[in-house]
Chain A
Amino acid sequence: MTHAAYIYPAYAVAVIATLALVIHAFTSMRRAERAAAEQRDRRA
């Protein structure tokens, strides 16, 4: 493949940035919803 030195970094940037967004959103959602559920159970 010609220009591989540019194509792979471009794909890597897009994939890493997207995965970072998705993983960060996923973990913060999990953590927040778990905290909310625990708080509710503690009160009940």
Chain B
Amino acid sequence: MAAKPTEGEGPGALGTQYRLGSDPHIYVTKHMHRFANPARFLRIAGVATPLTLWPGLAITALGLAWGLFYAPPDYLQGDSARIMDVHVPAAILAELGYAGLAVAAAVGLVWKHPLAEVAARALAPVGAVFAAVCLITGSLWGQPTWGTWWVWDARLTSMLVLFFLYLGVIALSNAFDEPGRGAKSAAILAIVGAINLPIIKYSVDWWNTLHQGASITLTGSTIAPALLWPLGISALGFSLLFAATVLMRMRAEIAQTRVRARARRMAEAFA
């Protein structure tokens, strides 16, 4: 009984633990990375969660109320341009979220950073929801402005493909019984997707100009400052809520991992 497993708060709580030799009580912790320390992350996240959550809710409410009730209607599109205030932040966050997912995936794969795996798993569903919101609100914007729910516009199509990429990453990370495998496979897919995303976007642009039949294009008037303010504020609000959600999901997963690891150790100690 040379080395008792270390208790919860150190890096060992999150890292994969390996058995050495036949003595079940000797564990080595694989991930001894300095920044992988969940205690440090949890300290920072504990401060950052309320700082993003509550202002996020307030600022989003302010931005949406402004956009919905106080901003003047767009001179070209009328009131339907108000949908911009929810549509554009969702689009930006869906794309930034994928970039973050790819970075987290790469860090997790290359440096075996356990927090990066947690971050990737926390990010993917949030980004997928924002992509879906972008598609649905875009559809609701398209019907009054273009007279149709869906156009095979380059940007809409790219967002649809991005949404399916998200779904693939999420499905892959949940598709395996053995722990760790899903995270690794999903990380590889996320990186492959990130490399392909510019090509996909280019191909969709190319295809769209090739088939451009109707007079519908997304490029419209430049946005008046009176409409820019509510857009900026709601974009800030949604970004803060995005960050808060990801932080909370990460904290939840770290706590769940810790509970499982302790329960396993207790079971082995009593066996």
Query: Which residues of A are at the interface with B, using a C-beta cutoff of 8 A?
Result: 1-4, 6-7, 9-11, 13-15, 17-18, 20-22, 25-26, 28-29, 31-33, 35-36, 39-40, 43
Contacts and interface: CB of A to CB of B under 8 A. Distances in A.
B78 interface: yes
Given A7-B80, A25-B248, 19 more contacts: A2-B73, A3-B80, A6-B140, A6-B144, A7-B79, A10-B140, A11-B64, A11-B82, A14-B86, A15-B64, A17-B132, A18-B133, A18-B241, A20-B129, A25-B244, A25-B249, A32-B259, A36-B262, A39-B259
Given A6-B140, A10-B140, A11-B86, A39 B262 contact: yes
Given A28-B252, A29-B251, A14 B80 contact: no
B245 A4 contact: no
A36 B259 contact: yes
B107 interface: no
Contacts of B132: 17
Contact of A39 (B241, B246, B248, B263): B263
B68 interface: yes
Given A13-B137, A14-B86, A2 B78 contact: yes
A6 B130 CA distance: 19
Please classify the interface of chain B as helix (H, G, I), strand (E, B), loop, or mixed, using the class held by over half of its residues. helix
B175 to A, nearest CB: 21
Contacts of A40: 8, 262
Nearest to A36: B255
A25 B140 contact: no
B263 A7 contact: no
Nearest to B90: A14
A22 B80 CA distance: 27
B83 to A, nearest CB: 4
Contacts of A32: 251-253, 255-256, 259
Nearest to A26: B248
B233 interface: no
B199 interface: no
The interface centre, meaning the residue of B8, B80, B246 with most chain A CB atoms within 10 A of its CB, is: B80
Interface string B150-192: 0000000000000000000000000000000000000000000
B32 interface: no
